[in-house]
Amino acid sequence: MLINNFNRFLSRTKKHREEHFFCYLCLQGFTDKCKLERHKADCGKFDFQKITLPKEGEVLEFKEYAKTARIPFVIYADFECLTRKVDTCHPNPNMSSTTTYQQMEPYSFGYQRVSIDKRYDKPPVIYRGPDVVENFIRHLLEEEKEIRDILNRIEPMIITEYDKLDYKYAKKCYVCKKAFSSKNYKVKEHDHVTGSIRGISCNNCNLQIKIPKFIPVVIHNLKGFDANLIMSKIGKFKEQDITVIPHNKEKYMSFSIGNLRFIDSLQFLNSSLATLTKNLADEGQKHFNYLSKTFPDPDVFSLLLRKGVFPYDYVDTEQKLEKPCLPSKEDFFNKLGDTHISDEDYQFAQTVWDKLKVKTLGNTPMCILKWM
pLDDT in tens, 150-170: 999 999 999 999 999 999 999
pLDDT digits (tens, 9 = 90+) for 317-352: 889 888 888 899 999 998 878 889 999 999 998 998
Percentage of the chain surpassing pLDDT 70? 88
Q: Under DSSP, is residue 251 helix (H, G, I), strand (E, B) or coil?
A: coil
178: Cα separation from own chain's centroid: 34
Q: Where are the beta strands (DSSP E) in the chain?
A: 21-22, 29-30, 73-85, 102-115, 125-128, 186-190, 197-202, 215-219, 242-246, 252-257, 260-264
Q: Indicate the DSSP class of residue 278.
A: H
Q: How far apart are CA 245 and CA 254, in angstroms?
A: 5
Q: How far apart are the first and last CA of the chain?
A: 37
Amino acid at 204: N
How wide is the angle at C-alpha 271 spanned by C-alphas 349 and 114, nearest 5°? 75
Q: Under DSSP, is residue 286 helix (H, G, I), strand (E, B) or coil?
A: helix
Q: Over 60: is that where the pLDDT of 21 sits?
A: yes
102: Cα separation from own chain's centroid: 25
The reported pTM is 0.82
How wide is the angle at C-alpha 199 spanned by C-alphas 198 and 200, nearest 5°? 145
pLDDT digits (tens, 9 = 90+) for 261-273: 999 998 888 777 7
Q: How many beta carbons lie within 10 A of that of residue 322, not counting itself?
A: 12
Do 344 and 306 form a contact (C-beta atoms < 8 A)? no
Q: How far apart are CA 140 and CA 262, in angstroms?
A: 11
Tell me the average pLDDT of the chain. Answer: 85
Q: How many beta carbons lie within 10 A of that of residue 221, not counting itself?
A: 14
Q: How far apart are CA 277 and CA 265, in angstroms?
A: 14
Q: What mean pLDDT is predicted for residues 10-28?
A: 72
Do 146 and 127 form a contact (C-beta atoms < 8 A)? no
| Choice between 172 and 17, residue whose per-residue pLDDT is larger | 172
Q: How far apart are CA 54 and CA 264, in angstroms?
A: 30
> In this structure, are strands 215-219 and 260-264 parallel, antiparallel, or unpaired?
parallel
Among the listed residues 195, 67, 209, 188, the one whose alpha carbon sits nearest the alpha carbon of residue 119: 195
Full 3-state SS string of 47-90:
CCCCCCCCCCCCCCCCCCHHHHCCCCEEEEEEEEEEEEECCCCC
Q: Over 80: is that where the pLDDT of 8 sits?
A: no
Amino acid at 312: Y
Q: Over 90: is that where the pLDDT of 174 sits?
A: yes
Q: How far apart are CA 112 and CA 132, in angstroms?
A: 16
Query: What pLDDT does 366 receive?
Result: 55
Q: Over 70: is that where the pLDDT of 370 sits?
A: no
Q: How far apart are CA 275 and CA 131, in angstroms?
A: 34
Q: What mean pLDDT is predicted for residues 73-83?
A: 93
Q: How far apart are CA 142 and CA 107, in angstroms?
A: 20
| Choice between 99 and 304, residue whose per-residue pLDDT is larger | 304
Q: Supply φ then ψ for residue 190, to 5 degrees.
A: -120, 155
Q: How far apart are CA 100 and CA 93, in angstroms?
A: 15
| Choice between 178 and 359, residue whose per-residue pLDDT is larger | 178
